[in-house]
Structure 1
Amino acid sequence: MRDLAAPLKLAVTLWLAAAAAIHLYFGGFGFPEPLTTRGFHLLVFVPPLFLLYPARAASPKGRPSLPDWLWAAAAAAPHAWVMAHWADVSDRMEYVDPFTPTMAVLAVLAIVTLLEATRRAVEVGLAWMVIISLAYMQWGHWLPGVLNTRPFTPNEILEASWLVPSAGGVYGPLTGIVATTIAVFIIFGAFMQGSGTGRLFSNLGAAVAGRFTGGPAKVAVITSGLFGTMSGSSVSNVITTGAMTIPLMVRIGYRPAIAGGIESAASVGGALMPPVMGAAAFVMAEITGIAYGDIVVAAAIGAVLYYFAILVAVHVEAKKAGMAPMPAADIPPWREVAQDAHLILPVALLVWLMTERWSGNFAAFWATIAMVATAALRRRSRMGPRAILESLANAGLTMAPLAVSIAGAGIVVSALTATGMVVALGGIIKDLAAGSFPLLLVLLAVTVLVLGMGLPTTPSYIIAAAIGVPQILELGSAALGVPQAALVLPAHLFIFYFAVLADASPPVAAAAFAAAAIARASPLVTSMEATRFGIAGFTVGFAFLYDPGIMLRGGLGAVLVATAIQVVALTALCAAYAGFLLRPMGPVARLLLAAAGFLAAFYHGVPDLLRLGIGAGALLLLGAGPLLAGRR
């Protein structure tokens, strides 16, 4: 990103801050007509990307070039036209009323500028995904078999991609949820950072875990999880917390790749952590029609288990290497933590409003107002006009790349729907599964991880959910003996978890690569370590479908058993990989413990209590047994 010269930097900062402030106002007092809201959202956030992000490495670093200004103007034109003509666009009959030459030109401008903005500011892989989707609409009728589709005229392609807000495309429902609820939550997260809540989280993590074995690594896990509740990006989470935690971990004895893996696994998990999960969770609420508060409640145990497994892995790794806790001088006293404790009140207000079933944008609006008011209670956290302006500008800077990535994902979804490719790809995966529900889930998990190599979490989740969820509902209903309606949320959470894990899983893992740069380690090795530390994401993802107790369903007994199974399975798997459980283990013991953990986590062909017994028995036999024998 460019470091703009002072006058233009101030102008862009004010523009982004004003755009964020308007979104915040809408969140509290009501949004305009949907098409106007979506047009305004893209109008204010797409053009600045051409000023902030250079086209190539040789482009000017401190100022936009003339072509950048032209790109910005071209990006503004179609969205300004939609805002001016929203009534006519809303009243027209899609694919029936004429798609005029003016509309065609504006559609081309909208698509091309979105592609270029995505290439510059998000991921080139997402831009190529959009291009391939459009090419498939144009030439898919030449392909054989299940890939064959009906011919589309150029105007039909442009209309489906740009001006069919009811079904998808640039102004579809996905852009709508980003322009409303997600935008206000991003603003709330920016105000959390601006008020010093990040300092509270960092100090709390150090005070809680710093005195224990492998303290810096545990601080990294706790801090990254807390930061993830206010960060819109796993990569930014890595950069923010990893700059402090990775060097500390290396200093006390963790290998650089392991330190980077711990940080990246903890950072991507921020998107799983309630009460403010990632943007994909809000999209999930829009797609499924399930209240966001219900999604948060269902995902709570899974998120805790994810971080529990990382802490277990960190602990056994530290014990195996004989590492010491953090130096006492680096651990903040509890009175230091208490000085920022008031900043937790707005988060509590947010949780309460959402549990009372207020809309997400309304809850985030009042939590943001409460953050400013609560921060004013102490001098160290008080937000003056400058801090408020910076928080709004930072929120706008986060929303701009998200706006274009979601609009691009909308085009892909529109193409998949219009061509019937959703059904075709789902049919291919279903045929490969050959009626096996476990194999179907494995294939879908691999599909999501592959999509995540080139796509951010939210677009990856959107596309994979469109392909995979119908297959899970159809095959899972018969395999598990439950109604399809009961599988809607578990199916979406399954896809969501793997979309999140893709940021830390090889071969291409954005968060792990960022951590590797800080740790000065191999990106591939770091991503492999991140996958190891994030193993709970894989087991919990499957548990959503097979163990409904993990989602607080089925009574207290079912919840306790499902949670206990995951606890013993994850402990066994983490200890087996590290080769340490109370004391070092040999290869045979590690293999047996890994097998027991794998069976407890994934072997659903036996009663749950037997799975629990397998995992717990292996831990007792291979852990406490040799230790007691040695003492005798």
Structure 2
Amino acid sequence: MRELPSGLRYAILALMAGAAAVHLYFGGYGFPEPITMRGFHLLIFVPPLFLLYPAFPGRSPARWPSVFDWLWAIIAAVPHAWVLWYADAVSDRMEYVDPFTPQMMALGIICIITLLEATRRAVEPGLAWMVVGCLAYMWWGHHLPGVLNTRDFTLSEIVESAWLVPTAGGVYGPLTGIVATTIAVFIIFGAFMQGSGTGRLFSNFGAIAAGRFTGGPAKVAVVTSGLFGTMSGSSVSNVITTGAMTIPLMKRIGYSPAVAGGIESAASVGGALMPPVMGAAAFVMAEITNIPYSEIIVAAALGAVLYYFAILAAVHFEAKRAGMKPMPASEIPALREILADLHLILPIVALVWLMGERWSGNFAAFCATMGMIGIAMLRRRTRMSPRAIFDALANAGLTMAPLAVSIAGAGIVVSALTATGMVVAFGGIIKELAGGQLGLLLVLLAITVLVLGLGIPTTPSYIIAAAIGVPQLIALGVDMLPAHLFLFYFAVIADATPPVAAAAFAAAAIAGASPTITSVHATRFGIAGFTVGFAFIYDPGIMLHGSLVEIVSAVLLQVAALTLVTSAYAGFLLAPLGVLLRVMMGAAGLATAFAHQLPDGARLAIGIGVLVLVSAWQTVRAPKRRIA
């Protein structure tokens, strides 16, 4: 992002803050008609991206936007202003039946081109190229053989489907509607949490809860990043926020730069898995599935806890093996620091309660945001000045702008895949390769989502994967919610897996380490993302579904499996492990997690049995080592 001159910078920040304030108002008092809301949302958030982000970093002007940047911004506003002005006519027209006029064609092409350029600059070039590939497939797909063959689309059909089909997909489709309503208000709530000092509360709590233990700074990073995940929908911003503090601390007590970056990125990525907010993709899930958001966060809660349990276990074993020390007492805040900010937890409690009572997400977030402002006023250290409120609104707007274009791009992809029948065709290819075997289908879908995650952010990656994969899973008897949670987990952890891992690359920059090596460490610390993802399908107790025995059994299976695997790759349980024991424990952990053909009792016996045997072996041998 550019460091703009102060005058232009404040003008854009004022625009962002004003737009966020309008979204917050609508969240509490009702949104206008869908097309009006979506037009306003895109008109406000797309044009400023050309001023905030240079076309070519290092070659474009670093401070002041060029003439071409201003032209891009002005042109990008035109199609959205037209839709907003003629919102009633756009809402009333019959898609693919009423004429798609030359004026609409020109505006649609402008909208698509400017959206692609904004996505390339502000989000990921990979997502822009994916959109281009899908549009090209609609144009040339009728020349392809076999299952890839499509009908012959006219140019007007392609542009109309990509731009102006608000009931099905495209730029003005339902996905943009979700972002412009519910997700926007939650982003504003997260910004006010940060602005009020809730981030300080989380950071201090993490230090007090984990700092006094072995490998304290790393455990602080894990706890703090998980808590920050309730505020931030971006793993990269989570890394930057918490990593600036935790990565230097981890390096200071002996972690290598790549390992420190890997721990932070794995913990930050998991923030999107942590209720009650869970990032933008979870709201999309609620909209797609018609499952109440409160039910989704309940089903996801245990999985998120297990994800962070695995990272903490891995950090503990690594620290024990290396003989690392806790945080210095002088760097651990006093308990009074937490008590001074503890009132800030009340709006979060209110948010969870309102959503549990099945209030709409946008109204619950509106009430929680207003409550955060009011509660923060109770004490001087948390009281938000007018400037702090302005900054929170502006930060929310700056977060929403790139998300707006990325979701609009994902809408084009989904529209193209649906119109061409590629969703069915690609799903058929995967289904044929899987041969009706659920396990193989899950592996293929997991690989697909991880590949998608190489070039596009979590939310559009999840949306595209859900369009392709969920029907296949349902056809094999998987319920709707576990199917979506499975794909959601892999879309999230794709941000930390090589070769392209946005969160790991951000952590590597802070740590001064190799991005590739950092992403490898992030993957091993985030191993629970893989095991819990499959557990949603095979062990429904992990979603709090079933009897108490089934829930406890599912949790124990994951705890045993994750303890074995993390201990094996760290090379430490109660004492250092030899190669043979590490291999045995790793194999036992994988069997406990993935040998679903065995009864749950047998898997649990393998996991707990090996842990008990190795612990007993190391306990018996400990006196001999001390004598030696």
Decide: shared fold, TM above 0.5.
Answer: yes
Q: Deviations over 1:477-525 (max 9, x none)?
A: 1xxxxxx5xx100000000000000000011100001111111111111
* Residue 65 (structure 1) shift: 1.3
Q: Summarize the alignment of residues 179-258 of structure 1 with structure 2, pairs less than 5 Å apart.
A: 179-258=180-259
* Residue 625 (structure 1) shift: 2.7
- Provide the residue aligned with 2:522 in structure 1: 530
Return 50-59 or 221-230, whichever deviates more: 50-59
Residue 502 of structure 2 aligns with an amino acid whose one-letter code is: A
Does the 8 Å contact 2:574/2:618 carry over to 1?
no
Measured in 1, the distance between the counterparts of 2:451 and 2:587 equals 27
- Provide the residue aligned with 2:412 in structure 1: 411
Measured in 2, the distance between the counterparts of 1:142 and 1:436 equals 32
- Provide the residue aligned with 2:604 in structure 1: 612
1:512 to 500, 504, 508: 504
- Provide the residue aligned with 1:381 in structure 2: 382
Measured in 2, the distance between the counterparts of 1:64 and 1:465 equals 38
Q: Summarize the alignment of residues 96-135 of structure 1 with structure 2, pairs less than 5 Å apart.
A: 96-135=97-136
1:549 aligns with 2:541: yes
Measured in 2, the distance between the counterparts of 1:231 and 1:435 equals 39
- Provide the residue aligned with 2:53 in structure 1: 53
Q: Deviations over 1:429-450 (max 9, x none)?
A: 1111122110110010000000
1:498 aligns with 2:490: yes
2:582 to 587, 590, 599: 590
Q: Deviations over 1:324-372 (max 9, x none)?
A: 0000000001111111101101100100100010000000001000000
Measured in 2, the distance between the counterparts of 1:27 and 1:557 equals 41
Q: Summarize the alignment of residues 180-579 of structure 1 with structure 2, pairs less than 5 Å apart.
A: 180-475=181-476, 477=477, 487-579=479-571
Does the 8 Å contact 1:273/1:303 carry over to 2?
yes
Residue 26 of structure 2 aligns with an amino acid whose one-letter code is: F
1:628 aligns with 2:620: yes
Does the 8 Å contact 1:457/1:502 carry over to 2?
yes
* Residue 629 (structure 1) shift: 4.3
Does the 8 Å contact 2:201/2:341 carry over to 1?
yes
Does the 8 Å contact 1:245/1:263 carry over to 2?
yes
Measured in 1, the distance between the counterparts of 2:494 and 2:621 equals 43
- Provide the residue aligned with 2:43 in structure 1: 43
* Residue 162 (structure 1) shift: 0.4
Measured in 2, the distance between the counterparts of 1:49 and 1:549 equals 44
* Residue 626 (structure 1) shift: 2.7
Residue 405 of structure 1 aligns with an amino acid whose one-letter code is: S
* Residue 304 (structure 1) shift: 0.2
Return 543-552 or 603-612, whichever deviates more: 603-612
**SS of 1:502 mapped into structure 2:** helix
Measured in 2, the distance between the counterparts of 1:20 and 1:132 equals 33
Residue 54 of structure 1 aligns with an amino acid whose one-letter code is: P
Q: Deviations over 1:270-328 (max 9, x none)?
A: 00000011100000001101011100000000000000000000000000000000000
Q: Deviations over 1:70-123 (max 9, x none)?
A: 111111111111111111111111111110011001101110010000000000
CA RMSD of aligned residues (A): 0.8
- Provide the residue aligned with 1:480 in structure 2: none
Q: Deviations over 1:237-287 (max 9, x none)?
A: 101110110010011001111100000000000000000111000000011
**SS of 2:496 mapped into structure 1:** coil
- Provide the residue aligned with 2:572 in structure 1: 580
Measured in 1, the distance between the counterparts of 2:424 and 2:196 equals 48
Residue 579 of structure 2 aligns with an amino acid whose one-letter code is: P
Does the 8 Å contact 2:568/2:583 carry over to 1?
yes
Q: Deviations over 1:392-446 (max 9, x none)?
A: 0000000000000000000000000000000111111111112211011001000
Q: Deviations over 1:553-582 (max 9, x none)?
A: 001111111001000100000001111010
Does the 8 Å contact 2:235/2:271 carry over to 1?
yes
Residue 117 of structure 1 aligns with an amino acid whose one-letter code is: A
TM-score by length of 2: 0.98
Measured in 1, the distance between the counterparts of 2:381 and 2:74 equals 42
* Residue 49 (structure 1) shift: 0.5
Q: Deviations over 1:179-203 (max 9, x none)?
A: 0000000000000000010000000
Measured in 2, the distance between the counterparts of 1:243 and 1:75 equals 35
Does the 8 Å contact 2:233/2:278 carry over to 1?
no
Residue 583 of structure 1 aligns with an amino acid whose one-letter code is: A
Overall identity of the aligned pairs, in %: 73
Residue 297 of structure 1 aligns with an amino acid whose one-letter code is: V
Residue 581 of structure 1 aligns with an amino acid whose one-letter code is: L
TM-score by length of 1: 0.98
Measured in 2, the distance between the counterparts of 1:56 and 1:626 equals 57
Does the 8 Å contact 1:582/1:624 carry over to 2?
no
Measured in 1, the distance between the counterparts of 2:294 and 2:154 equals 43
- Provide the residue aligned with 1:9 in structure 2: 9
Measured in 1, the distance between the counterparts of 2:161 and 2:269 equals 33
**SS of 1:581 mapped into structure 2:** coil
Q: Deviations over 1:114-173 (max 9, x none)?
A: 000000000000000000000000000000110000000000000000010111000101
Return 585-594 or 617-626, whichever deviates more: 617-626
- Provide the residue aligned with 1:71 in structure 2: 72
Residue 364 of structure 2 aligns with an amino acid whose one-letter code is: A
Measured in 1, the distance between the counterparts of 2:311 and 2:78 equals 48
* Residue 624 (structure 1) shift: 2.6
Measured in 1, the distance between the counterparts of 2:65 and 2:513 equals 34
Residue 10 of structure 2 aligns with an amino acid whose one-letter code is: L
Residue 571 of structure 1 aligns with an amino acid whose one-letter code is: T
Measured in 2, the distance between the counterparts of 1:616 and 1:518 equals 39
Q: Deviations over 1:14-69 (max 9, x none)?
A: 10000000000000000000111111110100011011111113221221111111
**SS of 2:283 mapped into structure 1:** helix
Measured in 2, the distance between the counterparts of 1:250 and 1:85 equals 57
Residue 623 of structure 1 aligns with an amino acid whose one-letter code is: S
Q: Deviations over 1:505-553 (max 9, x none)?
A: 0111000011111111111111010000000000000000000000000
- Provide the residue aligned with 1:24 in structure 2: 24
Does the 8 Å contact 1:190/1:391 carry over to 2?
yes
Q: Which runs of 4+ in 1 moved over 2 A?
A: 628-632
Measured in 1, the distance between the counterparts of 2:192 and 2:106 equals 40
Residue 593 of structure 2 aligns with an amino acid whose one-letter code is: A
Measured in 2, the distance between the counterparts of 1:223 and 1:281 equals 21
Does the 8 Å contact 1:161/1:411 carry over to 2?
yes
